[in-house]
């Protein structure tokens, strides 16, 4: 919850300005490589400095509060001890003045800013309470008849500083998604020049430059392959789960990973024109336009401020009109102001936040955005990314179809033996299946990668191939088989075992569905929440997963900017929407959603873009997060109801409404009631369970 709105907005303004400068830096040429790092540090330092300021003021004020409590007459009477010496009241004044001006400065400054914006709230109420208590107590110290409120003043400031320190710690963890995205780009490129290959910073690349990209390296920028062929992993950018075969003339995306062969790429886009930087811009826009609901505490503080000012002034005027002395009338007004002090209101939300954060952390749920977390209680639609979220992002053998005399076991043995030394995801899935079945692998002679098409090897003088359907088509190897056709129609990834140019068998693989996904989907649907899936994969693969999980719907072949648009489309239909994802391609959608939820083992970008992070990689934790959000919100409402509601009977008593019946609430009793309200709020927060 963001109580200190002027600080939060100031930090966000700085954050967006910082992101804008970061993108400009990546467009300029001849910049030192550590420029981004320097600005990232300055961004983090800005937030840390704000948090440290509250911490420092809290520590100093808390230390000064100890002697203030010891010197306060009411505290001495309550605990039956005496601590007095000549000039003690002036020392009490000096200590309290230090706490008021030093510890109370953020609130006094906040009052000025809120009045400039014509939107009095929590800061105004706190400032009025501490100012009334301080100046009235000062007047009493220097001759006015009455009682001092120094200890109430000091403890109020301590509690308010504590609440805002807790808030700033949360703010320090604000989204760094753009910085994480920018880090995906490699820092160097192998530029091909007439003199040979020259390593240069990526920021110096120009359109038309030719670069060499070796196996295992990232594409330095968007471009077109002009020489060589390979498979490229674009999963983190586009959501496509399987590596994509690329040949001369095909486009490549900056930040994607070259898996197999060395290729030459002509650079066609740099700076803001690149795919990745466009995703960054989408994230930036989503951050800036994401709606922010004014929290309950601020709304309550606004009305409590108006009530405190109005009733305080009315009390003073009324008693003076009744012929009472100014000191009596002023004491009534001060009692009203003190009893309206938002000790309980200030802690109502931060305490629940602290407790719910601790509970959620133990359960493996990290809350990064409090406002979004609260919205989780109202979710109507949850949209899941497929790869790495509902599925494991790993290939699993689903079908083995013999096409000749070999058995399923023999087909798997040949295929796994051929792929045993490969790190390709499909190869790993086949080898894992062979291990599961306890198959002993064969020694294959020298093997050769066929980029984007498969692998070739030799066994007992025979040529053995494990290839894609594309290879069969290119080599005019015709195949008619109903089971094969059915598997291909389902969108599964298929490879064919070919021995001496004859198809012997087919192995189909699918992205393995998480065992927890079915349970999570069913429970969410039982709660009345619709479940959808977004994926960059083709429609046939998406339909197979959707049917397996009995989803309410799915969107396939969706690019990152389209993912955000799909979320927006659901929101325009009036739904409160959550997005659950783990990849870079999910970042815009995670931020566009009312609640963005990242699977913990996902990318830093997804985590930084999300409002909630599930540490355990378990979709069922989405349900736990929703339940915790409901319980947390219920406690917040209870605390706020009490923190403001007790004023309904306390303020009239403080104002002297029942004076004619002999009932008059003294400032001391008012202070005790105020403290009792705080204790009740604290105990209620501690009772939070989920």
- Under DSSP, the state recorded for 57 is H
**Residues designated as active site:** 385
The confidence score (pLDDT) of residue 528 equals 94
Are 305 and 120 in contact by the 8 Å Cβ rule? The answer is: yes
CATH number for the domain running over 392-512: 3.40.1110.10
Highest mean pLDDT among 19-23, 279-283, 444-448, 603-607: 444-448
DSSP letter string over 344-400? HHHHHHHHHHHHHHHHHHHTTEEES-HHHHHHGGG--EEEEEIIIIIEEEEEEEEEE
Tens digits of residue pLDDT in 428-439: 899 999 999 999
Mean pLDDT of 310-332: 85
Task: Check whether 406 has a pLDDT greater than 60.
Answer: yes
Average pLDDT over residues 40-67: 79
Q: What is the DSSP letter of 661?
A: G
d(CA 393, CA 396): 10
The predicted pLDDT at position 500 comes to 85
**Three-class SS of residue 385?**
strand
Is 50 exceeded by the pLDDT of residue 685?
yes
**Residues 211, 202 contacting (CB under 8 angstroms):** no
pLDDT value of position 330: 75
Tokens at residue 651, please? 């303020």
Domain ranges of the chain: 1-174, 186-220+222-269, 290-364+627-690, 366-391+514-626, 392-512
Residue with tokens 């994401």: 290
Cα–Cα distance measured from residue 211 to residue 193, given in angstroms and rounded to the nearest whole number: 9
The answer to whether residue 607 scores a pLDDT higher than 70 is: no
The rounded radius of gyration (Å) of the Cα atoms in the chain is 33
Contact 161, 57 (CB under 8 A): yes
Look up residue 52 and give its DSSP letter: H
Average pLDDT over residues 126-133: 81
Edge-first strand order for the sheet with 257-258 is: 244-246, 230-233, 257-258
| pLDDT at residue 27, rounded to an integer | 42
Separation of alpha carbons 668 and 666, rounded Å: 5
Mean pLDDT for all residues in the chain: 80
DSSP classification of residue 514: P
User: What is the 8-class DSSP label of residue 405?
Assistant: S
pLDDT at residue 523 in the model: 95
Work out the average pLDDT over 132-147: 86
Place of tokens 């820092």: 187
Sign of CA pseudo-dihedral 470, 473, 474, 477: positive
Residues for the chain: how many in total?
690
244: which strand partners?
Answer: 232
Q: Give the count of beta carbons closer than 10 Å to the beta carbon of residue 469.
A: 17
Would you state the pLDDT for residue 179? 58
Q: What is each CA distance from 159 to 344, 403, 496, 508, in whole angstroms?
A: 9, 76, 70, 63
Cα separation, 552 vs 526, in Å, equals 12
- Residue 7 vs residue 518, higher pLDDT: 518
Q: How far apart are CA 418 and CA 404, in angstroms?
A: 19
CATH T-level topology, domain 186-220+222-269:
2.70.150
Q: What is the pLDDT of residue 604?
A: 65
pLDDT at position 342 over 70: no
Q: What SS3 class is residue 655? A: helix
Beta bridge partners of 463: 458
Q: Which of 123-132, 165-174, 486-495 has maximum average pLDDT? A: 486-495
Q: Is 658 helix (H, G, I), strand (E, B) or coil?
A: coil
d(CA 143, CA 522): 72
C-alpha to C-alpha distance for 376 and 395, rounded to whole angstroms:
32
DSSP codes of every residue in 111-177: HHHHHHTT---HHHHHHHHHHHHHHHHHHHHTT-SS---HHHHHHHHHHHHHHHHHHHHHHHT---H
Average pLDDT over residues 384-398: 85
Q: Going by C-beta distance under 8 Å and a sequence separation of 6 or more, which residues neighbour residue 280? A: 19, 23, 178, 181, 182
Span 205-235, pLDDT tens digits: 999 999 999 988 889 989 999 999 998 887 6
Q: Kindly tell me if the per-residue pLDDT of 21 is higher than 50.
A: no
Distance between CA atoms of residues 336 and 61, nearest Å: 25
Residue 677 has pLDDT above 90, yes or no: no
Greatest extent of the chain over all pairs of C-alpha atoms, in Å: 117
Distances (CA, A) of 647 to 142, 528, 636, 644, 679: 31, 39, 17, 6, 15
Residue 19 predicted with pLDDT over 50: no
260-301 tens-digit pLDDT: 889 999 999 887 787 777 666 655 554 454 433 335 566 666
Contact by Cβ (8 Å): 656, 664: yes
What is the CATH code for 366-391+514-626?
3.40.50.1000
Higher-pLDDT residue of 305 and 251 is 251
Could you tell me how far CA 643 lies from the centroid of its own chain?
A: 30
Number of C-beta neighbours around residue 545 at 10 A: 24
Greater confidence (13 vs 407) lies with 407
Nearest-angstrom CA–CA distance, 283 and 561: 9
CA angle 121, 155, 149 (to 5 degrees): 90
Q: Is the pLDDT of residue 684 over 70?
A: yes
Which pLDDT value is given to residue 626? 93
Cα–Cα distances in angstroms (integers) from residue 288 to residues 31, 207, 585, in the given order: 28, 31, 19
Q: Answer whether 216's CB lies under 8 Å from 269's CB.
A: no
Strand pairing partners for 210?
A: 266
The answer to whether residue 157 scores a pLDDT higher than 60 is yes
Mean pLDDT of 589-607: 78
Q: What was the pLDDT predicted at 363?
A: 78
Region 175-204 average pLDDT: 78
Who has greater pLDDT, 175 or 217? 217
Under DSSP, is residue 620 helix (H, G, I), strand (E, B) or coil?
A: coil
Is the pLDDT at 13 greater than 60? The verdict is no
Report the share of the chain in percent with pLDDT over 90: 26
- Band (pLDDT 50/70/90 cuts) for residue 568 is very high
pLDDT at 289: 42
The dihedral through the CA atoms of 597, 599, 603, 608 has a sign that is: positive
138, 334 in Cβ contact below 8 A? no
Contact 45, 166 (CB under 8 A): no
pLDDT reading at 606 higher than 70: no
User: How far apart are the C-alpha atoms of 214 and 264, rounded to whole Å?
Assistant: 9
Per DSSP, the chain holds a count of helices (H) and strands (E) of 26, 22
Residue 641: pLDDT band with limits 50, 70, 90:
confident
Query: Which residues, other chains included, contact 440 with Cβ-Cβ below 8 Å and sequence gap of 6+?
Result: 413
pLDDT score of 10:
34
pLDDT, tens digit (0-9, with 9 covering 90-100), for 461-518: 788 999 988 888 888 888 888 888 888 887 788 899 998 888 999 999 988 888 889 9
Backbone angles phi, psi at 240, to 5 degrees: -70, 120
The whole-number average pLDDT for the span 181-197 is 82
Alpha-carbon distance of 15 to 19, in angstroms, equals 6
- Is 681 in contact with 355 (CB distance < 8 Å)? no
């Amino acid at each position: 919850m963001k109580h200190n709105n002027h600080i939060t907005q100031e930090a966000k303004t700085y954050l967006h300005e910082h992101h804008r400068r970061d993108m400009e830096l990546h467009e300029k040429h001849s910049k030192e490589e550590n420029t981004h790092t320097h600005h990232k540090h300055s961004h983090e330092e800005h937030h840390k400095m704000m948090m440290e300021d509250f911490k420092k003021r809290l520590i100093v004020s808390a230390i000064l509060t100890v002697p203030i409590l010891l010197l306060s007459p009411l505290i001495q009477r309550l605990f039956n001890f005496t601590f007095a010496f000549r000039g003690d009241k002036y020392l009490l004044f000096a200590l309290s003045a230090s706490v008021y001006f030093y510890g109370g400065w953020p609130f006094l400054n906040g009052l000025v800013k809120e009045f400039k914006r014509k939107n009095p709230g929590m800061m105004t109420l706190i400032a009025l309470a501490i100012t009334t208590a301080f100046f009235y107590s000062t007047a009493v110290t220097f001759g006015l008849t009455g009682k001092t409120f120094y200890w109430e003043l000091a403890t109020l400031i301590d509690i308010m500083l504590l609440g805002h320190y807790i808030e700033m710690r949360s703010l320090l963890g604000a989204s760094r998604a753009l910085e994480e995205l920018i880090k995906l780009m490699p820092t160097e490129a192998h530029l091909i020049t007439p003199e040979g290959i020259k390593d240069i910073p990526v920021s110096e690349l120009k359109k038309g430059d030719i670069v060499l990209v070796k196996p295992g390296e990232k594409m330095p920028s968007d471009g077109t392959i002009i020489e060589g062929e390979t498979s490229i992993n674009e999963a983190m950018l586009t959501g496509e789960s399987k590596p994509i075969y690329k040949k001369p003339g095909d486009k490549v995306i900056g930040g994607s990973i070259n898996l197999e062969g060395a290729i030459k790429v002509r650079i066609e886009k740099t700076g803001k024109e690149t795919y990745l930087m466009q995703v960054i811009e989408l994230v930036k826009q989503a951050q800036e336009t994401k709606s922010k609901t004014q929290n309950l505490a601020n709304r309550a503080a606004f009305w409590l401020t108006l009530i405190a000012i109005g009733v305080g002034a009315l009390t003073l005027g009324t008693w003076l009109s009744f012929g009472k002395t100014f000191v009596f009338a002023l004491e009534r007004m001060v009692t009203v102001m003190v009893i309206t002090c938002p000790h309980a209101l200030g802690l109502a939300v931060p305490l629940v936040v602290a407790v719910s954060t601790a509970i959620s952390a133990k359960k493996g749920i990290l809350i990064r955005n409090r406002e979004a977390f609260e919205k989780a209680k109202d979710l109507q639609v949850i949209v899941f990314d497929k790869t790495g979220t509902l599925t494991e992002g790993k290939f699993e053998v689903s079908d083995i179809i013999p096409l000749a005399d070999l058995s399923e076991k023999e087909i798997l043995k040949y295929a796994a033996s051929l792929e045993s030394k490969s790190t390709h995801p499909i190869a790993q899935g086949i080898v894992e299946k062979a291990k599961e079945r306890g198959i002993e692998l064969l020694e294959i002679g020298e093997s050769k990668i066929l980029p984007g098409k498969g692998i070739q090897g030799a066994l007992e003088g025979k040529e053995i191939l494990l290839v894609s359907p594309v290879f069969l088509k290119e080599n005019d190897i015709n195949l008619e088989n109903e089971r094969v056709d059915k598997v291909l129609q389902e969108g599964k990834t298929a490879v064919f075992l070919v021995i001496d140019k004859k198809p012997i068998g087919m192995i189909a693989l699918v992205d393995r569905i998480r065992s927890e996904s079915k349970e999570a989907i069913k429970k969410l649907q039982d709660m009345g929440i619709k479940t959808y899936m977004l994926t960059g994969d083709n429609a046939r693969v998406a339909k197979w997963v959707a049917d397996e999980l009995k989803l309410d719907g799915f969107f396939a072949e969706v690019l990152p900017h389209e993912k955000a648009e799909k979320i927006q489309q659901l929101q325009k239909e009036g739904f409160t929407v959550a997005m659950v994802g783990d990849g870079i391609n999910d970042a815009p959608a995670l931020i566009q959603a009312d609640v963005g939820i990242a699977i913990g083992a996902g990318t830093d970008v997804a985590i930084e873009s999300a409002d909630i992070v599930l540490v355990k990689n378990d979709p069922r934790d989405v349900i736990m997060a929703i339940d915790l959000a409901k319980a947390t919100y219920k406690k917040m409402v209870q605390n706020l109801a009490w923190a403001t509601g007790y004023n309904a009977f306390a303020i009239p008593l403080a104002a002297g409404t029942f004076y004619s019946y002999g009932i008059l609430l003294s400032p001391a009793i008012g202070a005790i009631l105020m403290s009792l309200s705080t204790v009740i709020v604290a105990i209620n927060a501690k009772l939070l369970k989920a």
